[in-house]
Amino acid sequence: MYKKTLRDVNLAGKRVVMRVDFNVPIKEGVIRDDTRIKGALPSINYVLEQGGSLVLMSHLGRPKGNGYEADYSLKPVAEYLAEMLDKPVTFAPDCLNADDLVTALKAGDIVMLENTRFYVEEQGKIKQAEGQNDEDFAAAKAEIRQKQRAMAEKFASYGDIYCNDAFGSAHRAHASTAIVDEFMETSVTGFLLEKEIEYLGNAVENPTRPFVAILGGAKVSDKLAVVKNLLDKVDTLIIGGGMAYTFLKAMGHAVGASLCENDQVEYAAQMMEKAKANGKSFLLPVDNVAADKFAADAKTEVVGNDIPEGWMALDIGPKTTALYCDAIKTAKTVVWNGPMGCFEMEKFAKGTFGVCQAVAECGAVTIIGGGDSVSAVNKSGLADKMTHISTGGGASLEFLEGKVLPGVAALDDK
């Protein structure tokens, strides 16, 4: 870990501006999954125990960026956090107008800011308006970026130390994640972000071998760079989910009505050739659970790698599940991102849960990333058997691609 952490700075009497990832599912004011809130507690508690005070900031959902939207307010999260900590959490209803609340902070106090994405300046992006010429658009982009920097400077004015503990947003160069650092003398990582970097970094750069990566999900295009990068590092790459059928089509198989990205077939063929040339084991389905429609009450049939016309493959078959599980059993490091099928429907869940069981029992260092994979692991009841469950979907993917994450790069080096 090459970045400074909270342990490397004196926090007594300091105000810490901490970017957390409290982008949690909320329905009718009730938080449905508090995993990300729990993940931030070690850093929050440490700052308070060391005699510091906290200004917490986060985004929630995808508001339009034109002001307050009740469905995306962080107020329910502030109230939930107060219950978890058994202490008051003051809520600032406007993230850019919280000076009085912040100034009043004493050691051990917490202020949580309202959703940073209520301001379009947070992300610093705008779309070109219909009919807008390029010159005017360039001027508008320059203006929004100037406002983004002003927003970041405002966040920096709230504290003495900046701490990023939001891995789920670390791949975004937003005001609250990467630009705020420019206006702070001290910028450090929190314990959750530190843990994510260490596990994913070691897995990719210094894995205990055999190293097995499992990639699933709907689209090859979502994981193009991940496949390419991991083929230089893994011993075995396992492909499942909807993305598998683009690879099977590249091998000349009929895929019926299965998900298939025709514009990626050539790329899929290139990746298989690369695996062969590099001596890597590249595993694809050998049988599939096909359905006559995408529905829980669909008629199903286990077929080989030629999917009947009009039918769609929605899960890997039993032979494939056994093949994948055998490969996982030999692993010493496993990275898994993406389910093997439509596990939300019982008829198409056996492949994903079979792989999940194998990962849980293999005795390797096991790292789970991506929202659907994490959901499957939680649903299986095997979450406590995994070494590390990542809180960042897009961030973990970009890390596996080998990209530098702006929210990490901006922090102080040790």
Positions marked active-site: 36, 219, 371, 394
What six digits make up the tokens of 133? 């010429």
Q: CA-based diameter of the chain, in Å?
A: 69
Q: What does the block give as tokens for 391?
A: 């809180």
d(CA 86, CA 353): 37
What residue type is 291 in one-letter code? A
CB-based contact 174:147 (threshold 8 Å):
no
Burial-class residue 232 by CB neighbours within 10 Å (0-12, 13-18, 19+).
exposed
Provide φ and ψ at 148, rounded to 5°.
-65, -40
> Token digits for 321?
């599940």
| Residues 6+ positions from 296 with CB-CB distance below 8 Å | 345, 346, 347
CA distance 142 to 147: 9
Task: Please give the C-alpha separations between residue 95 and each of 38, 55, 139, 293, in angstroms, as whole numbers.
Answer: 22, 10, 26, 47
Count of H helices and E strands in the chain? 13, 17
Q: Are 232 and 277 in contact (CB under 8 A)?
A: no
How many Å apart are CA 404 and CA 161, to the nearest integer? 23
Distance of alpha carbon 196 from alpha carbon 232, whole angstroms: 21
Q: Which two tokens stand for residue 259?
A: 């998900």
Six-digit token pair at 79? 């109230």
CA dist., res. 88 & res. 264, Å (int): 52
Encoded tokens for 352: 């994903």
